[in-house]
Amino acid sequence: MRNYILLLLYSIFLACSSGDQNDADVIYHNATVILMTGELEIAEAIAIKNSKILSTGAFNKILKYQGIKTEMKNLEGKTLLPGFIEGHSHLMMAAQMIDMVNLSSPPVSDITESQGLVDKLEQKRVDENIKNGEWLLGWGYDADLLEEKRHPTRFDLDEVFPDHSVFRGPGSWLIWLFFLIIRLMLTQIS
């Protein structure tokens, strides 16, 4: 009987001393925690365990998840977006594209042939008074969607833009520099 009592007491001791299962691994506090729930909900602290959110809310509410091993992180008023997953959206590239010419085919834009691409670049050059030697930047076209089913050549572009370097990136992966930049490079070599 005595052994059973000792075993029971030992079990209770282990359960109490091993830490609460609700103890957070980390608590982020002193933050603006924008909850990604669809509604505009803001908390000041968040408790995390095993990379999962235990709770969000006021700091004094979240403190109940603090255990002996809980790491406390003071975010000093910074913003935290829990559950926000950056899905490879190229945010910086999107910001850079604001000043570029949209050379996409329908339904995104209206480019259906090489001449339409050249015309749109020329319109940008005229509208924004882009001076000789400056770059014309375009994005988004797909040669397979053009009537010619080919990329415009340097001859297509040099006829209209003999003094401009033209850059375009279909899908942003293929970089294309035209004859002016090649000529500049060749003059530096010789």
**CATH superfamily to which 2-80 belongs:** Urease, subunit C, domain 1 (2.30.40.10)
- Show pLDDT as tens, one digit a residue, over the chain (190 residues): 666 565 555 555 555 544 567 899 999 999 999 988 778 889 999 999 999 999 999 999 999 999 999 999 999 999 998 877 766 777 777 777 888 888 888 988 899 998 998 899 899 989 999 888 788 888 888 888 999 998 887 778 778 888 777 765 544 334 444 555 566 666 666 5
Name the residue ranges covered by the structural domains of the chain.
Answer: 2-80, 91-189
| DSSP alpha helix (H) spans, the chain | 2-17, 59-62, 91-96, 114-127, 154-158, 179-189
- Rounded Cα distance, 145 and 170, in Å: 11
Residues 81-99, buried b or exposed e (16+ Cβ, 10 A)? eeeeeeeeeeeeeeeebee
CA dihedral 164→167→168→171, nearest 10 degrees, is -170
Sign of the CA dihedral with 50 first, then 53, 59, and 64 last: negative
Question: What's the half-sphere exposure (Cβ side, CA atoms, 13 Å) at 13?
Answer: 6
Interatomic CA distance for residues 29 and 181, integer angstroms: 53
Question: Which pTM does this prediction carry?
Answer: 0.47
Other Cβ atoms less than 10 A from the Cβ of 113: the count is 14
Residue 107 sits at φ, ψ, to 5 deg, of: -90, 0
The pairing of beta strand 101-102 with beta strand 135-139:
parallel
